[in-house]
Amino acid sequence: MSSQNMKKPNGEVAMRHVMEQPNPHENLLERVLSRDTMQKAWKRVKANNGVPGIDSMSIDDFPEFARAHWDRIRESLLAGTYQPSPVKRVEIPKPTGGTRPLGIPTVLDRVIQQAMY
């Protein structure tokens, strides 16, 4: 917080005016969860065309789900009570032979992760 003297037209100081410096972290989560940010995040997830996570929800099924449940999901994110779903584990082949584990989040969790990015 900084202060600045406010002067009367005759040159004398009338009062001290306190100017608040904006906190860059204030309302950060609200900005992340804005409609614009979430739409951009959805477009990135949709373009990636990934497979369903543990909930079996496809990319095509997500928009209807989001419309029906977004208010509740947003409230839980703002309240700090949102819990991401477990990650689906699959084994994928390695170019040199063998396999490696891969974690596949749900579409919802991918959208939230993209919005935070």
pLDDT: is 13 or 106 the higher one? 106
> pTM above the 0.85 mark?
no
- Ordered by start, the domain boundaries in the chain are 28-83+105-117
What are 46-100's pLDDT values in tens digits?
999 999 999 999 999 999 999 999 999 999 999 999 999 999 999 999 999 999 9
User: What would the DSSP string read from start to end of 34-48?
Assistant: SHHHHHHHHHHHHHH
DSSP state of 15: E
Sign of CA dihedral 107, 113, 116, 117: negative
Sorted by sequence, the CB contacts under 8 Å of residue 10 that are 6+ apart come out as none
